[in-house]
Structure 1
């Protein structure tokens, strides 16, 4: 019984040590440092607005699905 308890205490202690080690080393700062200043990008605002307007108007698959689902399944004909 003592051997089992001792084994459990050793296993739990090792587990706690490993967890603390991983917690302290896993969150180190690995970010790249900027060495040169970023250059500004010149945009033609009118061109950006036009492209965005065209992109918004592109029909999507969901529009086709809505048309199929909303289309009436039964049509009334006047040829009776």
Structure 2
């Protein structure tokens, strides 16, 4: 006579694959953690450039001559670095 918890052997297959389901769940969680961690770590680099940094970058790339750089830097220094 079958016992109280006997299900006819149906659940044996599910218990046998349970480790695979757990493994897939752990891999999924690890991927979400690592992917999410990488995305949020990049936010530190998304800060805005200051006006002086923009000027230095434009001078270094050749967009501005040294005279234009000095003129614009003097304007920024006079205004206290405030941007419009």
Q: Fold-level match, TM-score > 0.5?
A: no
Q: Scaled by the length of structure 2, what TM-score is found? A: 0.39
- Report which structure shows greater RCO (CA 8 Å, sep ≥6): 2
- Larger helix percent: 2
Question: Radius of gyration: which is bigger?
Answer: 1
Q: Scaled by the length of structure 1, what TM-score is found? A: 0.41
